[in-house]
Amino acid sequence: MLESSKLNEISNKIKELAKSSPLADLDKNMDALLRSIFTKMELVTREEFDVQAEVLKNTREKLDILELRLAELEQAAPAQSTGQS
């Protein structure tokens, strides 16, 4: 079995080779390509999504309250018009 110092040495040599090889450029290019693709897809962050979900929830609650209020007013309106005639 290899000693940990030998494994570290081998690992460091592989890292050095990767840095000086086209692999490092490939990694950078791949990162830039992925960022470009995600930007074109117009993705939002989780934080932005959560904020908009909360805004939508609040809006839905207000709409529900207004719908109930409108139904109450509609029910009261015929009673008022029959009482006035």
Residues 29 and 58 in one domain: no
| Predicted confidence band of residue 14 (pLDDT cuts 50, 70, 90) | confident
Residues 39 and 55 in one domain: no
Q: What's the structural domain count of the chain?
A: 2
Residues 38 and 48 in one domain: no
Reply yes or no on whether the pLDDT at 1 is more than 60: no
Q: Which residue has the higher pLDDT, 40 or 63?
A: 63
Residues 4 and 39 in one domain: yes
Cα-based distances in Å from 55 to 45, 62, 65, 68, 83: 16, 11, 16, 20, 42
| Predicted confidence band of residue 82 (pLDDT cuts 50, 70, 90) | low
Domain that holds residue 17: 1-43
What does the pLDDT read at residue 69? Answer: 97
Q: How far apart are CA 85 and CA 44, in angstroms?
A: 58
Tokens representing residue 12 in the block: 């460091």
What rounded mean pLDDT belongs to the chain? 83
Residues 68 and 84 in one domain: yes
Digit-coded pLDDT (tens) for 21-62? 776 677 778 888 888 887 788 888 899 999 999 999 999 999
